[in-house]
Structure 1
Amino acid sequence: MTLPVDPATLAGAEPAEAAAPRTEVVLSLCVPTYNRAHFLRHLFPHIREAAKAFDFSYEIVVSDNASPDETPQVVAEFKAEGMPIRYFRQEENKRLANLFSAFRHARGEFVVYLADDDLVIPEALADNVRFMRENPEIRVVYTPWEIYDAVAEERTCLFYRLRKPLEVFQAGQEIDLLKMMIENNVLPEIAMYRAEAVRELVSAPQFCYWAFAYLSTMISQGPIAFRDVPYYRSVTLTPVVPNRHQEGIHDSLYNWDNIRGGIEFMIFSLLKRLGLTPDRELAVIFRDMVDHYIHLRLHVALRLWLSRKDYLRAYEVITRLSYLNPESTRNIGSVESLLPLLRAQILAQLASGIAEIERFVAIGVEDFAGFATKLREVGLRPDIAVVGPEDLTGAGAREKAFVFIRDEAIRASVLQAGYEPGLVVSARDVEVNFPI
């Protein structure tokens, strides 16, 4: 059900678009793509079926980053079938600029981004169009999005949840907006823009997460809304390509520092517009708010790294969490229980990264068979044999053996046996680098 905005909520707003003439195209679905013809073959029929729920005109704006695959042919095929596709091709791969290209070519009254490997929820998308048409003062409406398994055809969860069905903010309410985003762990990525608003965007930040920078621009223009009607599906499992790279998951795993930069960019813009120079107390308040938000994002990253059994990266995230709030790591479970897996992975990756290693010699390990199995599980190269201390007296090439010693005291005897100093690592070496 559409929830019209209370006019009192928008008091003082300049209805710049209220009298603006509507274009022939109501909705532009902007699809930047690169070398993903197989995904477009899956996406276009989905959009064609979704459009049955639309009572308005739409277009698909494809901006192709100079794909070397069959992307032009796939687009031409569906365009010939009557789909309203407008296709533009870059002369080279321009990464972030490609979304701008799609936005700038859009002719619709409203503009949304759609990744070539994601999907939309037709009725909800149409409902958000109705919301925007009934509330012409709103520059952009942000919504949560579904994490979606397209193989099982079911929603896994929402990326974030709002406590209210609708919240509206405008210039002068940026502090309230920031508080709401932190309380709800909002990442403002998915949005339906009024065309005139999105055309105010002129660059793609490199070190500051774009979603916060764009939000800062949006609220400077007029009212913005957050609505709990998700229209976007971020696909994790797809029938097109199993186990493929998923950009949203990648951001959760890696981009928390970029996200911090985005929030700081937003705060900077706010202070500049208000003509404020924060005193020490206000600066601490802002810093605590940013730290709390990043703390939430780091917990998401930690869960993902642990689910992937990447204990080295999980350890690094734990150090960041502990720095922000030492008490918070107690909620993770037993960090000490990760220690055997972490140490095994450190050794496995170290040995695997050294050229021409043929044998992993383990000395002083009580459960040798279990240790060898663990090394394989956490990434030891399959061509490296795991052998016990009896190998020390064998005839194998010493310069092609990686030696792990449990007891630092036997290092001298191992070196006397002719093994390379740089290829001998003790438990102490590992513990010094990775204290827990």
Structure 2
Amino acid sequence: MNAPIDPAALDASAPAALAEVPAEVTLSICVPTYNRAHFLEYLFPHLREACATFDFTYEIVVSDNCSPDNTPEVVERFRAEGMPIRYFRQDENKPSANILSVYHRARGKYLVYVADDDLIIPEALADNVRFMMANPELRACYTPWEVYDDLHKVSGGYFYDQAEDLMIFSPGQELELFGALVRDHIFPETVIYRADAARSIVSAPRFCYWAFSYLAGVVAEGPVAFRNVPFYRSVTLTPVVTNRGQAGIDGAMTDWDSYRGGLEYLIFSFLRRSNLVAGADFKSTVRDLADHFVSIRLKVALRLWLARQDYCRAYEIVVRLQYLDPAGMEHLEIPENLALLANAQTLARLANGIAEIDRVVVAGVEDGQALGALFRDAGLERRIFVVPPPEKPTERHLRNSLVFLADDSLRQTFLDQGYSPGLIVTEREVRGSVLL
């Protein structure tokens, strides 16, 4: 670990920082970071070149979540080279709070979030800032974002397509806003905030998708724009590292219920501020629209879980889709043998998870070798062997074996040999957990 740097040495109020950051800042580029010095090494030169074309002043605000790597040294080196960076360091890792920190440390008239592993489209960002400057009543400007392969410099298109080039919603128009979000499947994530709008963000929601929750608060105080001028590149592949996780993808695989929560939060905030009470018909309509939005996200999640070969999680999503949108199931690319794969993975995970199991004894199966290969492909750990029943099981066999029976009638035989009832599983029992 690198020797820690005294945060006072990088204090934004130090004379060197004042010389670098303009006193009047138009745009604050807000970069929360944690243990990603190698990404900052790549991002800062990109921002230096991109922002050189701006005809307004800017600063880069970095909030470091107590990184154990050399993030402070990287920041100081680029500051010394003249980049207008203001640096702040947490005393411990505070993931949700760090985003709030970077917003509240910013001094610009407008604020934009940039992840430390993503990029901007400079001319589009400048165009949106100028649009907000020309329309000072706007509290925020939202746009789609580009999915971008930075390794091969190839665009993957935009995450969503909005029907109109410009939509503006004011306080009291939350229902129209809700309709547009669902109709165009808008995710209000890439946004330029007016400073007072960003300052009004004071909490980090957990069960209500943050982008909808923040939007609900911002539009209650003034108009917001949705503009079809994307300025943000969400990087999928990067030359910085060959393999990395991406929070956005992980969220798409798990966060659909928070999306519903965010939509419900948006509607609730409108009703409460308007002193209205929702009737049964209104609630039913809103629920149907939220179901439609969630079903689309579940279909995305299904594709991602199948790509990871997690058939158990894919099966769970199929079950939910069968309930929410049975008519739409025929258009999904679901493996014909998903039930078989989910069953095999269920047993493999059961064996992996029981303490001290080192073999799966298979009985009543015509091709035990093929079944063993199926279990292995489904994730059975290498330390666990798939074997036929021993003629005379030893105490070790009885203690360390999970028995899989294709025929329920064989159970008593294995019980008589001394196998524990809890370590004998039949095909019928496994199939009972997968209802496809």
Common fold by TM > 0.5: yes
- Which residue of structure 2 aligns with residue 408 of structure 1? 408
Q: 1:69 to 1:308 in 2, by over 3 A?
A: same
Cα shift readout 1:281-305 (whole Å, capped 9, x = no counterpart): 1111111111111111111111111
In 2, Cα distance between equivalents of 1:334 and 1:76: 51
Query: Does the CA contact (< 8 Å) of 2:146 and 2:158 recur in 1?
Result: yes
In 1, Cα distance between equivalents of 2:262 and 2:190: 15
Is 2:214 aligned against 1:203? no
- Which residue of structure 2 aligns with residue 353 of structure 1? 353
In 2, Cα distance between equivalents of 1:365 and 1:122: 63
Q: Secondary structure at the match of 1:229?
A: coil
Q: How does 1:330-409 map to 2 (within 5 A)?
A: 330-334=330-334, 336-389=336-389, 391-393=390-392, 397-409=397-409
In 1, Cα distance between equivalents of 2:406 and 2:54: 67
Q: Per-residue deviation at 1:308? A: 0.9
In 2, Cα distance between equivalents of 1:128 and 1:291: 32
Q: Per-residue deviation at 1:341? A: 0.9
Q: Secondary structure at the match of 2:31?
A: strand
Cα shift readout 1:144-202 (whole Å, capped 9, x = no counterpart): 11122222221223111111111111112211111111011111111011112211222
Cα shift readout 1:406-428 (whole Å, capped 9, x = no counterpart): 11111111222232222211111
- Which residue of structure 2 aligns with residue 248 of structure 1? 248
In 2, Cα distance between equivalents of 1:164 and 1:69: 45
TM-score (norm 1): 0.91
In 1, Cα distance between equivalents of 2:306 and 2:27: 40
Query: Does the CA contact (< 8 Å) of 2:62 and 2:85 recur in 1?
Result: yes
- Which residue of structure 1 aligns with residue 262 of structure 2? 262
Q: How does 1:12-411 map to 2 (within 5 A)?
A: 24-334=24-334, 336-389=336-389, 391-393=390-392, 397-411=397-411
Between 132-141 and 81-90, the greater mean CA deviation after superposition: 132-141
In 2, Cα distance between equivalents of 1:425 and 1:228: 56
Query: Does the CA contact (< 8 Å) of 1:162 and 1:184 recur in 2?
Result: yes
Q: Secondary structure at the match of 1:366?
A: coil
Q: Secondary structure at the match of 2:337?
A: helix
Q: Secondary structure at the match of 1:397?
A: helix
Q: Secondary structure at the match of 2:343?
A: helix
**Amino acid corresponding to residue 83 of structure 1 in structure 2:** M
In 1, Cα distance between equivalents of 2:291 and 2:247: 24
- Which residue of structure 2 aligns with residue 12 of structure 1? none
In 2, Cα distance between equivalents of 1:369 and 1:58: 65
TM-score (norm 2): 0.91
Between 176-185 and 353-362, the greater mean CA deviation after superposition: 353-362
Query: Does the CA contact (< 8 Å) of 1:124 and 1:229 recur in 2?
Result: yes
Cα shift readout 1:238-261 (whole Å, capped 9, x = no counterpart): 222333221111110111111111
**Amino acid corresponding to residue 431 of structure 1 in structure 2:** R
Q: 1:304 to 1:193 in 2, by over 3 A?
A: same
Q: Per-residue deviation at 1:393? A: 4.1
**Amino acid corresponding to residue 308 of structure 1 in structure 2:** R
Q: List alignment gaps of at least 5 residues for structure 1.
A: 1-21
Identity %: 52
Q: 1:406 to 1:58 in 2, by over 3 A?
A: same
In 1, Cα distance between equivalents of 2:335 and 2:416: 37
In 2, Cα distance between equivalents of 1:58 and 1:376: 55
Q: Secondary structure at the match of 1:141?
A: strand
Q: 1:380 to 1:166 in 2, by over 3 A?
A: same
In 1, Cα distance between equivalents of 2:130 and 2:77: 31
**Amino acid corresponding to residue 427 of structure 2 in structure 1:** A
Q: Per-residue deviation at 1:89? A: 0.9
Query: Does the CA contact (< 8 Å) of 1:148 and 1:233 recur in 2?
Result: yes
In 1, Cα distance between equivalents of 2:185 and 2:391: 55
Between 203-212 and 413-422, the greater mean CA deviation after superposition: 413-422
Q: List alignment gaps of at least 5 residues for structure 2.
A: 1-21
**Amino acid corresponding to residue 146 of structure 1 in structure 2:** E
**Amino acid corresponding to residue 287 of structure 1 in structure 2:** R
Q: Per-residue deviation at 1:96? A: 1.1
Query: Does the CA contact (< 8 Å) of 2:121 and 2:233 recur in 1?
Result: yes
Structural RMSD (CA)? 1.8
**Amino acid corresponding to residue 191 of structure 2 in structure 1:** A
In 1, Cα distance between equivalents of 2:364 and 2:385: 17
Q: 1:426 to 1:198 in 2, by over 3 A?
A: same
Q: Secondary structure at the match of 2:52?
A: helix
In 2, Cα distance between equivalents of 1:55 and 1:415: 80
In 1, Cα distance between equivalents of 2:391 and 2:42: 57
- Which residue of structure 1 aligns with residue 6 of structure 2? none
Q: 1:329 to 1:381 in 2, by over 3 A?
A: same
Q: 1:296 to 1:392 in 2, by over 3 A?
A: farther
Query: Does the CA contact (< 8 Å) of 2:167 and 2:227 recur in 1?
Result: yes
In 1, Cα distance between equivalents of 2:414 and 2:116: 56
Query: Does the CA contact (< 8 Å) of 2:393 and 2:417 recur in 1?
Result: no
